[in-house]
C-alpha cells in the first residue's frame, strides 16, 4: 500500500506541476524500444516515417541479437513473482519477442493507467497477480512447475532446492537492459539459468 501511494502521489504531483505523461511501453527489447521512441517522437511532432528510417538498422541489429536466444527460450514456461515492479514489461518482452509462455505475472502494484500500453500487448488470458500473497503464489508456482521462475533472492534458493530453475529479479534492476543495443543482453539474462541447469544435469 505504501508503494502504491508513492507511485500515485508522485504521478499526481508531476501532473499538477504541468508535466504530461507520454504513454508508451517500456523500452525493453526491439519492439518495446521502437514503440517507446515512436511515442516520444509523436509527442514532439516528429514524423513516423522519419522515426522508422532512423531506427530501422537498430531494430534489425536487435532482432539478430534476439534470434539466437529465441531458439533457446521459445516455448519455455516462465512464472514471474512480484518483486521489481517491471514484471509486466518483462512479460511482454518474453512473450512477444522471445516466444516464452507466461504461467503467471505477479507485480507488487499494478497501475492500470500507467501500464495500459503494456497490458494491451500481453497475450489474452494472461494470469496477473498484484501484491505479495507469497504462500499462495508459491503454491501456484509449485503446481505449475514452470521451466523458469523469476523471483527475489529470498525465494530463489528454496525453489532451486525443489528442482526449479530461478532467475534473480534484482539482476534485472542493476543490469543495463533498456534499448536496442541491450535487447540481446536482456534475453541472455533469461537464457543463462536454463543453460546452467542443462550443464549441471550433464
CATH, residue 156:
3.40.50.1980
Q: How many domains does the chain have?
A: 1
Q: Is residue 64 part of a domain?
A: yes
What pLDDT was estimated at residue 11? 78
Q: Is residue 4 part of a domain?
A: no
Strand ordering across the sheet containing 101-107: 128-130, 101-107, 77-80, 148-151, 166-168
Distance CA 115, CA 126 (A): 14
126-150 mean pLDDT: 95
Tens-digit pLDDT profile for residues 156-188: 999 999 999 999 999 999 999 999 999 999 999
User: Residue 170 sits in which domain range?
Assistant: 24-201
How far, CA to CA in Å, does 149 sit from each of 7, 56, 145, 200? 26, 33, 9, 17
C-beta of residue 25 within 8 angstroms of C-beta of residue 89: yes
Tens-digit pLDDT profile for residues 31-70: 999 999 999 999 999 999 999 999 999 999 999 999 999 9
The residues, ordered by sequence, that sit 6+ positions from 35 with a Cβ below 8 Å of its Cβ are 24, 25, 117
Averaged pLDDT score across all residues of the chain: 92
Residue 199: pLDDT over 70: no
Q: Is residue 11 part of a domain?
A: no
What is the full DSSP assignment across 21-79? ------SBHHHHHHHHHHHHHHHTT--HHHHHHHHHHHHHHHHHHHHHHHHHHTT-EEE
Q: Is residue 139 part of a domain?
A: yes
Residue 200: pLDDT over 80: no
Q: What is the pTM of this model?
A: 0.91
Q: Is residue 8 part of a domain?
A: no
Amino acid at each position: 500500500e505504501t508503494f502504491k501511494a508513492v507511485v500515485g502521489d508522485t504521478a499526481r504531483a508531476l501532473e499538477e506541476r504541468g508535466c504530461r505523461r507520454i504513454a508508451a511501453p517500456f523500452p525493453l527489447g526491439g519492439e518495446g524500444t521502437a514503440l517507446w521512441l515512436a511515442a516520444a517522437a509523436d509527442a514532439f511532432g516528429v514524423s513516423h516515417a522519419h522515426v522508422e528510417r532512423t531506427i530501422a538498422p537498430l531494430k534489425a541489429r536487435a532482432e539478430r541479437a534476439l534470434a539466437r536466444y529465441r531458439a533457446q527460450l521459445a516455448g519455455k514456461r516462465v512464472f514471474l513473482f512480484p518483486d521489481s515492479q517491471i514484471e509486466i514489461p518483462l512479460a511482454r518482452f518474453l512473450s512477444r519477442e522471445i516466444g516464452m509462455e507466461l504461467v503467471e505475472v505477479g507485480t507488487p502494484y499494478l497501475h492500470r493507467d500507467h501500464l495500459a500500453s503494456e497490458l494491451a500487448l500481453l497475450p489474452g488470458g494472461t494470469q496477473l497477480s498484484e501484491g505479495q500473497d507469497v504462500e499462495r503464489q508459491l503454491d501456484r508456482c509449485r503446481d505449475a512447475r514452470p521451466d523458469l521462475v523469476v523471483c527475489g533472492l529470498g525465494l530463489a534458493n528454496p525453489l532451486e532446492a525443489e528442482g526449479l530453475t530461478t532467475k534473480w529479479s534484482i539482476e534485472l534492476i542493476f543490469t543495463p537492459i533498456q534499448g536496442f543495443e541491450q535487447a540481446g543482453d536482456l534475453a541472455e539474462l533469461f537464457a543463462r539459468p536454463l543453460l546452467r541447469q542443462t550443464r549441471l544435469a550433464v
